[in-house]
């Protein structure tokens, strides 16, 4: 009934709004419905096959991914309803049942063979009243053998079966979507399906891994964004080293990172063996770190900013002349807004040459749209542009952090290097930071590129020693730390040995890029 009709019944407008508004708010709070098919008990396919086919249970990671999912759902402030469908081989243990308490979860039956016996078994083990069922699919011969479904691919369910079929609800496979789409696209598509009232179907085994036969992809990051949970994980990057995984925070230089027990536990659940982070000694020190944290020496190029005039006095005469030279050559610097025009200028700089500073340049060959997307999605960034005759000939990307600004990138067109563009860019960046009362500027690390180190020092940056900590999370992580495998070779080698090897590294890097370009050109000719 609309507002006009309600007014005819003699109710005041204020009274009507008090009654209607909560209903509208309830409608606007979209319900995220999840169908979770717990087909397999372990994150490992091989361990799951042993358990499902032979009844062999091994390890402490029984239903591990399901427990991670349940915690994510419990922590979400969104309106979520999860329907969990368990098979006879994935009966929830006490730990998972505790997590499945509350209105957000409902335990349901995933029928494999005998619907009556399996229903009785599930209700007895969970002490829950079951309302819904689905039928576990076994399209492939291997699955039929493993689940001992000999006569039919789908067990018949009688009409008088007391449970309601969940197959009637419109569902869409989130893990299937994540196989073909990027995270950003998958989130957008999934949220549209949620608004349309569709149920998102997921299988815990694909939470972090990618399928090869059934075309399902890892859906953790997509679901994390949909549920808006695990904010502390969103900037974590993981790399594989030999037999272990190392995680770090991409924002570790911009903000203080001090891992909590809960944070470390979440990393452990995700298969991380070691977490590494730095101590930002210029603004914060860690007192009494735990004994099992391994501290190693690291460094950054750091400049303390007071005023632009003070910096100008402290740099050498040669550097001042380089800045003046840029100005006399007609180079103008200014803070620019991130837009498509800036992205196009950066794209031209990226694709000017495949070799920079005697090494392979990783951004060469990037597509314009990719640069536009990076600029559009960049956060807490300031761009300083250098222009010659209205053309962008160089830029600096400054990233705002807590008590520091990071020079993330500084690049210029090689054809204009005679105009000292980079010196002009650094001067403008320091002027900006001084005006904004930003006390510190960081410009990467020192010790891995002699010519770049010299440029940093000439512009007032100096080596600042910091501590990098390594926190072992698993047994593999502890072994790796004891063996010294956590550190990069370039950080372990002494300078007298490393510096003579840099030209060799550069030569290998250049020729690797040239070979890549040659092979790419040959493929185009063959087409």
Q: What does the pLDDT read at residue 144?
A: 61
Residue 442: strand pairing partners: 302, 406
- The CATH number given to whatever domain includes residue 223 is 3.20.20
> Got the DSSP string for 443-505?
---SSS-HHHHHHHHHTT-EEEEEEEEEEE-SHHHHHHHHTT-SS-HHHHS-HHHHHHHHHHH
Same domain? 474 vs 364: no
Q: Is residue 446 part of a domain?
A: no
The predicted pLDDT at position 154 comes to 66
Same domain, 163 and 104: yes
Task: Give the pLDDT of residue 107.
Answer: 97
Domain count within the chain: 4
Coil, helix or strand at residue 369:
helix
Q: Cα torsion at 446, 452, 455, 457 (round to 10°)?
A: 10
Per-residue pLDDT at 320: 97
Tens digit of pLDDT per residue, the chain (527 long)?
A: 444 444 444 445 444 444 443 433 344 467 999 999 999 899 988 888 887 777 788 878 899 999 999 999 999 999 999 999 999 989 999 999 999 998 999 999 999 888 999 999 999 999 999 999 999 876 565 566 566 665 555 678 888 999 999 999 999 999 999 999 999 999 999 999 999 999 999 999 999 999 887 889 999 999 999 999 999 998 999 999 999 999 999 999 999 999 999 999 999 988 899 999 999 999 889 989 999 999 999 999 999 999 999 999 999 999 999 999 999 999 999 999 999 999 999 999 999 999 998 899 999 999 999 999 999 888 899 999 999 999 999 999 999 999 999 999 999 999 999 999 999 999 999 999 999 999 999 999 998 888 899 999 999 999 999 999 999 999 999 999 999 999 888 777 887 888 888 889 889 999 988 888 888 777 767 66
Q: Could you tell me if 487 and 516 lie in one domain?
A: no
Our measurement of the distance from residue 320's CA atom to the centroid of its chain's CA atoms, rounded to an integer in Å, reads 41
Regarding whether 126 and 211 lie in a shared domain, the answer is yes
pLDDT at residue 141 in the model: 57
Examine residue 396 and state whether it is found in any structural domain, yes or no.
no
Three-class SS of 58-101: CCCCCCHHHHHHHHHHHHCCCCEEEEEEECCCCCCCHHHHHHCC
**Which domain range does residue 511 map to?**
339-377+499-527
Q: What does residue 332 show for φ and ψ, rounded to 5 degrees? A: -115, 135
Last residue of a domain, one of 195, 229, 263: 229
260 and 121 housed in the same domain? no
What's the confidence (pLDDT) of residue 27? 41
HSE (side-chain half, CA atoms, 13 Å) at 425:
30
Angstrom distances, CA of residue 74 to CA of 33, 206, 208: 14, 20, 19
Shared-domain flag, residues 120 and 210: yes
Shared domain check, 149 and 258:
no
Question: CA-to-CA distance for 493 and 434, rounded, in angstroms?
Answer: 37
- Asked if residue 106 is part of any domain, the answer here is yes
Q: Is residue 40 part of a domain?
A: yes
Task: Check: CB of residue 63 under 8 Å from CB of residue 92.
Answer: yes
Are residues 199 and 269 part of one domain? Answer: no
100 contacts: CB under 8 Å, gap ≥ 6:
70, 84, 92, 107
Regarding whether 138 and 181 lie in a shared domain, the answer is: yes
State pTM to two decimals.
0.81
């Amino acid at each position: 009934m609309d507002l006009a009709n309600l007014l005819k019944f003699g109710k005041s407008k204020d009274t009507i709004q008090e009654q209607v508004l909560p209903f509208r708010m309830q409608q606007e709070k979209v319900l995220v419905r999840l169908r979770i098919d717990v087909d397999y008990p372990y994150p490992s396919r091989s361990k799951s096959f042993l358990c499902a086919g032979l009844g062999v249970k091994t390890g402490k990671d029984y239903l591990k991914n399901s427990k991670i999912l349940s915690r994510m759902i419990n922590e979400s402030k969104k309106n979520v309803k999860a329907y969990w469908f368990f098979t006879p081989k994935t009966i929830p243990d006490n730990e998972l049942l505790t997590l499945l308490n509350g209105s957000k979860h409902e335990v349901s039956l995933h029928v494999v063979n005998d619907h009556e016996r399996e229903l009785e078994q599930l209700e007895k083990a969970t002490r829950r009243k079951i309302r819904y069922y689905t039928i576990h699919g076994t399209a492939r011969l291997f699955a039929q053998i493993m689940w001992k479904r000999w006569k039919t691919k789908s067990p018949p369910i009688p009409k008088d079966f007391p449970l309601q079929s969940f197959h009637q609800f419109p569902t869409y496979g989130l893990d299937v979507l994540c196989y073909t789409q990027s995270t950003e696209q998958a989130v957008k598509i999934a949220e549209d399906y949620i608004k349309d009232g569709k149920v998102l179907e997921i299988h815990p085994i694909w939470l972090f891994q990618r399928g090869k036969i059934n075309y399902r992809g890892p859906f953790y990051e997509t679901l994390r964004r949909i549920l808006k949970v695990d904010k502390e994980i969103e900037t974590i990057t993981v790399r594989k080293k030999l037999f272990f995984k190392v995680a770090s925070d991409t924002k570790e230089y911009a903000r203080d990172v001090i891992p909590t027990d809960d944070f470390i536990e979440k990393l452990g659940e995700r298969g991380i063996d070691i977490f590494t982070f730095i101590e930002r000694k210029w603004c914060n020190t860690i007192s009494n770190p735990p004994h099992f944290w391994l501290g190693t020496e690291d460094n950054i190029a750091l400049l303390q900013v007071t005023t632009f005039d003070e910096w100008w006095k402290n740099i050498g005469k040669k550097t001042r002349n380089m800045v003046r030279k840029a100005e006399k050559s007609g180079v103008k610097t200014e803070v620019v807004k991130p837009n498509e025009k800036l992205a196009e200028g950066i794209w031209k700089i990226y694709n000017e040459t495949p070799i920079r500073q005697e090494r392979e340049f990783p951004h060469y060959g990037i597509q314009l749209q990719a640069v536009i997307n990076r600029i559009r999605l960049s956060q807490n960034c300031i761009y300083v542009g250098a222009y010659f005759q209205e053309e962008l000939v160089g830029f600096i990307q400054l990233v705002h952090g807590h008590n520091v600004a990071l020079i993330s990138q500084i690049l210029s067109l090689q054809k204009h290097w005679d105009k000292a563009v980079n010196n002009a860019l650094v001067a403008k960046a320091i002027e900006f930071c001084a005006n904004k009362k930003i006390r510190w500027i960081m410009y990467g690390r020192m010790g891995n590129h002699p010519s770049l180190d010299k440029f940093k020092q000439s512009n007032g940056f100096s080596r600042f020693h910091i501590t990098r900590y390594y926190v072992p999370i698993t047994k593999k992580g502890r072994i790796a730390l004891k063996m010294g495998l956590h550190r990069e070779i370039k950080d372990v080698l002494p300078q007298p040995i490393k510096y003579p090897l840099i030209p060799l590294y550069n030569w290998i890097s250049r020729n690797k890029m040239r070979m890549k370009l040659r092979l790419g050109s040959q493929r185009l000719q063959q087409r």
